[in-house]
Copies of this chain bind each other. A is one copy, B any other.
């Protein structure tokens, strides 16, 4: 397995692959890999001739008051895990390699970035689309895999790829969960034992919502109220948002007839967790 830290080296590798008319799958990550990531990589392995991952804790997607500095990092462990899964090459740039002094260009998807997580993190998705656009230009993947746990991110990236006519197929992977249902996330490690237990209210309220829909409830407001109530009455938990939205436009739906996704963000202690599920 190779590790490239510069854009130049990474592009040279890509050029060689393209010369042989072979294909590349890219799985972008911020490192501190867990089973959520490695499952994406296993999927990616089957989608192209070469599997490339990127490990880059992208500063432009963190807000000024967010946890960039304390975001967990462990490159040695990450590269061991990546190698085990069959990753062929890791793109692992320093911040200055991606954003040199004077950097000034941003890709922004409007509208769908202004709801849900965009409300409490107003510049987050602009950072995500910018770094993903850069990674797509550097690695030129034929296909790229994103997890459904970050549902809004997945939707925003699909929208960017479509709008800008990018030459990459975006594939999604279902949310990977712990045995008890908690969605895997690098942020789970911030949870105390009691918070870890209370965090189950995220999957709990999603499951309850599905049951209600299966039982014939169509009124989004009622289901939303149930989830807000369930979360608010759980110790250490506070609702950031609970929304039932159209899966493509992320616009709120009033009545659940066609496809609908319930998306939620919950502060468990000081750790903000997100999760989502298709209700129908």
A residues neighboring B (CB under 8 Å): 7, 11, 19, 21, 102-112, 129-130, 133-134, 137-138, 140, 159-160, 163-167, 249
Shortest distance from the beta carbon of A19 to any chain B beta carbon, whole Å: 7
Chain B residue numbers with a CB within 8 Å of A103 are: 163
- Complexed CA–CA distance, A104 and B109 (Å): 5
Q: Which 10 A-B pairs have the closest CB atoms?
A: A105-B163, A137-B165, A104-B110, A105-B109, A138-B165, A104-B111, A134-B165, A105-B160, A137-B166, A107-B107
Shortest distance from the beta carbon of A106 to any chain B beta carbon, whole Å: 6
Shortest distance from the beta carbon of A279 to any chain B beta carbon, whole Å: 23
Chain B residue numbers with a CB within 8 Å of A102 are: 249
Q: In the complex where A19-B21, A160-B105 touch, is A11 in contact with B167 (Cβ < 8 A)?
A: yes
Q: Is the CB of A104 within 8 A of B163?
A: yes
Q: Is the CB of B107 within 8 A of A105?
A: yes
Shortest distance from the beta carbon of A128 to any chain B beta carbon, whole Å: 13
- Complexed CA–CA distance, A134 and B164 (Å): 5
**CB-nearest residue of chain B to A98:** B165
Chain B residue numbers with a CB within 8 Å of A130 are: 164
- Complexed CA–CA distance, A164 and B107 (Å): 9
Given contact pairs A105-B110, A107-B164, enumerate 18 new A-B contacts (beta carbons under 8 Å). Answer: A7-B165, A102-B249, A103-B163, A104-B109, A104-B111, A104-B112, A104-B159, A105-B109, A105-B159, A107-B107, A107-B133, A108-B108, A133-B164, A134-B163, A134-B165, A137-B164, A137-B166, A137-B167
